[in-house]
Amino acid sequence: MNVMGKPLSKAIKTFYGVGDLGFTLMSAVELFLFVFFLTTVAKFSLPVVALIGSVTAIVDTVLSPFYGAIINGTKALKWGRNRSWLLVTPPIVVVLFMFQFTKIGTDSVAAIIVCAGFILSHIVWNMGWVANVSLIAVMANNPEERGLLASRRGTWTGLGTVFFSYIGAPFALFLGAVTGHPILGYTLLAGILGLTFLSGYWAVFKITDGYEPTGEETQSAAEGAKKSENVSGSVMLKSVFQNSPLLLLLLGDFFRWMVFFIMTAAAAFYFTYVAQNMKLFPIYLLLGGIAQVIGSYFSGNISKALSTRTATIIGLFGLAASLILCKYAGMNVLLFFVVVIPANFFLGVLAAVMVALYADVVVYSEWKTGKNAASFIMGLMNVSLKAAVISRGTIIPLVLAAAGFAERTDPTAVSLVMKTAVINVFVLIPGIFALVGALIITFGYRLTREKIVTYQAEIDKRKGQTV
Decide if pLDDT at 239 tops 50.
Answer: yes
Domain 1-230 shares a fold with domain 232-467 = yes
Contact 278, 271 (CB under 8 A): yes
Contacts of 106 (CB under 8 A, 6+ apart): none
What is the band of 447 on the pLDDT scale with cuts at 50, 70, 90? very high
| Integer Cα distance of 153 and 294 in angstroms | 12
Q: What is the pLDDT of residue 429?
A: 93
Least confident range from 49-63, 218-232, 242-256: namely 218-232
Would you give the end-to-end CA distance of the chain in angstroms?
A: 16
**What's the DSSP call for residue 228?**
P
Q: Is the pLDDT of residue 189 over 50?
A: yes
pLDDT (tens digit per residue) in 83-130: 999 999 999 999 999 999 999 999 999 999 999 999 999 999 999 999
User: Can you give the pLDDT at residue 223?
Assistant: 46
Q: Where are the domains positioned within the chain?
A: 1-230, 232-467
**Contact status, residue 232 vs residue 385, Cβ threshold 8 Å:** no
Residues 156, 157, 163, 168, CA torsion sign: positive
Segment 209-220 shows an average pLDDT of 69
Name the helix (H) or strand (E) containing 419: helix 416-423
Domain 232-467 has CATH 1.20.1250.20: yes
**pLDDT tops 90 at residue 152:** yes
**pLDDT bucket at 132, cuts 50 / 70 / 90:** very high
Angstrom distance (rounded) from CA 290 to CA 155: 10
Count CB atoms within 10 A of the CB of residue 150.
29
Looking at residue 221, its pLDDT comes to 39
Distance of CA 138 to the CA centre of its chain: 19
Percent of the chain with pLDDT over 90: 63
Please say if the pLDDT value at position 435 is more than 70: yes
Single-letter amino acid, residue 224: G
User: 352, 8, 61: which is closest to 211 by C-alpha?
Assistant: 8
Whether the Cβ atoms of residue 97 and residue 117 lie closer than 8 Å to each other: yes
Position 467 scores a pLDDT of 46
Average pLDDT for the chain: 89
- What's the mean pLDDT in 5-32? 92
| Distances in whole angstroms, Cα of residue 379 to Cα of each of 92, 134, 230, 305, 397 | 20, 8, 16, 27, 30
What are the distances in angstroms from CA 391 to CA 54, 71, 319, 345, 386? Answer: 13, 28, 20, 24, 9
Q: What is the DSSP string of 122-170?
A: HHHHHHHHHHHHHHHHHH-SSHHHHHHHHHHHHHHHHHHHHHHHHHHHH
The reported pLDDT for the residue numbered 2 is 60
Q: Strand, helix or coil at 75?
A: coil
**Position 395: which residue type?**
I
The band of 219, judged by pLDDT with boundaries at 50, 70 and 90, is: very low
Q: Residue 272's pLDDT is what?
A: 85
pLDDT at 228 over 60: no
d(CA 140, CA 137): 6
**CATH 1.20.1250.20 for domain 1-230:** yes
pLDDT at 129: 95
